[in-house]
Structure 1
Amino acid sequence: MLALGGLLAMAAGIGIGRFVYTPILPPMVEALSLSKAEAGLIASANFVGYLAGALLAAVRLPGSRRSWLLAGLVLNVVCLAAMGTTTSLVLFLLLRLAAGVASAFCLIFSSALVLDRLAATGRSGLSALHFSGVGIGIALSAAVVAMLGDWRNMWLASAGLAAVAAIAVALTVTAEAAPSAATARVPRTKLSSAFIMLAVAYFLFGIGYIITATFLIDIVRGSPAIRHLEPYAWILVGIGAAPSVVLWGALGRRIGILPAFAVASLVEAAGVVASVLWLQTMGVVIAALFLGGTFMGLTALGLIGAREAGVGDPRGRIALMTASFSLGQIIGPVFAGVVYDATGSLVWPSLLAAAGLVLAALLSLASQRFAPAAPRTASASRAARTPEA
């Protein structure tokens, strides 16, 4: 039941709260005559909020982790519902900013609660169920949105889904015990060359995936040959995301965390290229599955790699990785939107994003040369207990 609660928290806060904007974006842009730059700005506001929420969650907040998780879930529902009640760009920006904070709280506090308890009871293998919530949330919300015609109703229906999940989380994730001494504050550690290269790779990953994640459905809607696939493309992203952490974690245990990160980056780059250069049915399928099948796996692999790319307590490195990733997500949609408004195409921003992913793969492999040696079994253990993916 605990792992199910974590799954639902990730589905509500990340799968719906962060990513339902993508399938709602095309009808919303059409109805409100938003420019691509404005659409990208709204997306970036959410990522600014996510960065702020991640940094806030890293400090010692008063109250229990469960209380902050539930607060994040409630704020998430309120923000989703409010998006369907306004047409003000300023309010859109503020609501998506607040929703980003809520998403970060849902991810970090649910992961801290659920994965700690699973590890304590010897059931760390169930952590994959927790992370699969993101893909399940994406797929379910995409299916609901596909059945509706009005963008306002899409936001309200998404809020309803998130509210049901939040209630289930409140019932399944019970109050926690007092925090252990392991959560006490620790001194920061010196950053290694390996970590710096990996952080840059993580930044490039943030830019590389988010342009396609933001505009994929808009690309499909704007291409007559594949417009009929609009209701299904985002569902495919969710289907690809659900098992991805399990699959990439298994590859990481077999060939190493950083080589697996490199492979996943190249796969994602191929999907990004397909999204703009292969505007046929198979191209959309590949773009959606490659995007969904890599972005959560890359998130987890990057944080595992950060733990190994230095000595001492890894929490400072994980916080910096989160900030690096968030910065990439903030820049990507705005950059793509501005270029689209200037050129009428997302081809060049997407190709640059794919090139960034290739560079991220190379940097992750270079980082491995400088990383401290770690037993493969340790990597496997870390993969099962990654607290922030």
Structure 2
Amino acid sequence: MGIGRFVYTPILPPMAEALGLSKGGAGLIASANFLGYLIGALLAGAPRLPGGRRRWMLGALVASAITTGAMGAVTSMSAFLLLRAAGGAASAFVLVLASALVLDRLAVAGRPGLSSVHFAGVGKGIAVSALVVAALQADGADWRTLWYVVGGVALAAAAAVAWLVPPAEAPRVAVSGPVAQARPGPGLPALVCAYGLFGFGYVITATFLVSIVRSSPVLRSVEPLVWLIVGLTAVPSVALWMRASLRFGIPLTFAIACVVEAIGVAASVLWPSAVGALLAAALLGGTFMGLTALGLAGARRLAPADPRPVLAVMTAAFGLGQIVGPALAGFLSERSGNFALASLLAAAALLVAAAVVLRVPRTSLL
């Protein structure tokens, strides 16, 4: 999922140069992916999916890989929009269904702390795709080849998932305490709102960071490193932020992570140097998957015994923020000539998210 959902960022600069894509067009393609993500999140939250959750998850992984590779076979804007929308829907199915499967199994095993290993997979996918793209570009590969190869890598990963995830699902246990309540607990609307603002706040930098770096002659030397750092810092981030939540509670930890990410988002445009770009990459990678895990873990604790509908609502709010971000950033950058205004709006949204999430009672997430 980390490959299919996020590899657009490092491939975008050579793709845009070869095809003459405008910033607005590039943002529209990204937003199509997130529109698909929103639709997929709503569908994945359906009470019953015929055929079982594992089958749908594996099908979504294959669909994500195929739509990723197929991006290299087309050149029209309509085809790009369709493929990225389908890939986005597949990504949402993977997140909702894989998280439900894994969290259920961990609950049965009494090892909920291992959820950080599950969410760290996205960072590993980003790091792998960054290395693959950098190596292919150094060898002179064009943008089409980049899509083909990373799509193949994602397909191989899907085969590994089919082998590693057991066909027999874990029983869905009702957890004692607040998680087992019949209705969502107090604070869920604030958590959903904060999660949506986080979706808007992170996505502009996550989509255009490599483009921002490539547009500056001073920063071109660190372009191969930027996306790799995002992936590498994302891998341990979930475990670190989840551990912090045990001490400070999910609302306060979520708020702190939003502030840290806001600093990174602002640094991407206010500190136009190699240090600023690398700091932005590290702070983005070090927070966005941690925030994702914190939000979903908090929602599950506020949810009834079946967490999938609430996880889907959270993912949908997140997806809505993602849809607005790239399209708005492309629109504003075409008029201003850079991503500064859009990035600062994103940083402000993250600060608002930090304030909103503090309205969630800590006692409801114990």
For 1:241, the equivalent position in structure 2 comes to 234
1:383 aligns with none
Q: Deviations over 1:224-257 (max 9, x none)?
A: 1111111110000001100111000011111111
Distance 1:215 1:105, change over 3 A: same
Q: What is the CA–CA distance in structure 2 between the aligned matches of 1:165 and 1:296, rounded to whole Å?
A: 20
Report the Cα distance in structure 2 between the residues aligned to 1:309 and 1:114, rounded to whole angstroms: 18
1:382 counterpart residue number:
none
Of residues 139, 156, 162, the one that matches 2:127 is: 139
1:160 aligns with 2:147: no
Match of 1:36 in 2: 23
What is the DSSP-based 3-state SS (H/G/I as helix, E as strand, rest coil) of the residue aligned with 2:6? coil
Quote the residue 2:143 is aligned against.
Answer: 151
Equivalent position of 1:108 in the other structure: 96
What is the DSSP-based 3-state SS (H/G/I as helix, E as strand, rest coil) of the residue aligned with 2:51? coil
Name the amino acid aligned to 2:109: T
* Aligned-partner SS, 1:176: coil
- Which residue is 1:288 aligned to? 281
Change (3 A) 1:31 1:357: same
Deviation at 1:314, TM superposition (A): 5.8
Alpha carbons of structure 1 residues 254 and 112: separation in structure 2 relative to 1, 3 Å = same
Residues 167-192 of structure 1 show CA distances to partners (whole Å, capped at 9, x for unaligned) of: 11111112124865869xx9984774
Does the 8 Å CA contact 1:199/1:324 hold for their aligned counterparts?
A: yes
Q: How many Å separate the matches in 1 of 2:233 and 2:130?
A: 13
Query: Is 1:373 aligned to 2:363, yes or no?
Result: yes
- Same amino acid, percent of matched pairs: 56
After TM superposition, the structure 1 = structure 2 runs for residues 176-255 of structure 1, keeping only pairs within 5 Å, are: 176-177=168-169, 180=172, 189=183, 192=186, 194-255=187-248
Is 2:76 the partner of 1:88? yes
Task: Tell whether 2:69 aligns with 1:76.
Answer: no
Q: Displacement of 1:114 after TM fit?
A: 2.6
Per-residue CA shift, 1:201-220, capped at 9, x if unaligned?
Answer: 22211111000000000000
Aligned to 2:363, the other structure's residue is in SS state coil
Residue 173 to residue 315, structure 1, CA distance change in 2 (3 Å):
closer
- Rounded to whole Å, the distance in 2 between the matches of 1:178 and 1:119 is 9
Q: Secondary structure at the match of 2:243?
A: helix
1:49 aligns with 2:46: no
Q: Is the 8 A contact 1:79 1:99 kept in 2?
A: yes
TM-superposition CA deviations, 1:289-309 (whole Å, max 9, x none): 100010111112123333456
Normalising by structure 2, we get a TM-score of: 0.91
Amino acid at match of 1:37: G
State whether residues 69 and 110 of structure 1, in contact with CA within 8 Å, keep that contact through their aligned partners in structure 2. Answer: yes
Alpha-carbon offset, residue 52 of structure 1: 1.2
Measure the CA separation in 1 of the matches of 2:311 and 2:7. 26
Residues 173-182 or 208-217, more deviating: 173-182
Q: Note closer, same or farther for the CA distance 1:258–1:144 as it changes in structure 2 (3 Å cut).
A: same
Distance 1:31 1:21 in 2: 15
Distance 1:310 1:79, change over 3 A: closer
In the alignment, which residue of structure 1 is the partner of 2:265?
272
Provide closer, same or farther for how the CA distance between residues 58 and 187 of structure 1 changes in structure 2, counting only shifts above 3 A.
farther
Name the CA shift for 1:132/1:310 in 2 (closer, same or farther; >3 Å). Answer: closer
1:136/1:343 Cα in 2 relative to 1: closer, same or farther (>3 Å)?
A: same
Deviations 1:95-128 (A, max 9, x none): 0011011111222222222332233233333322
What amino acid is aligned across from residue 21 of structure 1 in structure 2? Answer: Y
Counterparts of 2:259 and 2:159, CA distance in 1: 39
Matched, 1:350 2:337: no
Q: Residues of 1 paired with 2:13 and 2:115: CA distance?
A: 34
Residue type of the alignment partner of 1:27: P
Instruction: Could you tell me which runs of 5 or more consecutive residues in structure 1 were left unpaired when the two chains were aligned.
Output: 1-12, 380-389
The CA deviation string for residues 312-361 of structure 1, in whole angstroms up to 9 with x for no partner, is 87655433222211100000000000001111111001011111111111
Partner of 2:5: 18
- State the match for 1:327 in structure 2: 320
**Are the aligned partners of 1:76 and 1:103 in contact in 2 as well (CA < 8 Å)?**
yes
The answer as to whether partners of 2:108 and 2:173 remain within 8 angstroms in 1 is no
RMSD: 2.2
Aligned residue type for 1:124: P
Once residues 311 and 116 of structure 2 are traced to their aligned partners in structure 1, the CA distance between those partners, rounded to angstroms, is: 19
> CA–CA distance in 2 between the matches of 1:76 and 1:118?
25
Q: Which secondary structure state, in structure 2, belongs to the residue aligned with residue 143 of structure 1? A: helix
Aligned-pair CA distance for 1:195: 2.8
In structure 1, the residue corresponding to 2:136 is in which secondary structure?
coil
Q: Distance in 2 between matches of 1:23 and 1:220?
A: 11
CA distance in 1, matches of 2:172, 2:345: 45
**TM superposition shift of 1:372:** 6.7
Give, in whole Å, the separation in 1 of the partners of 2:226 and 2:362: 41
Aligned residue pairs total: 357
SS across alignment from 1:87: coil
Measure the CA separation in 1 of the matches of 2:83 and 2:196: 25
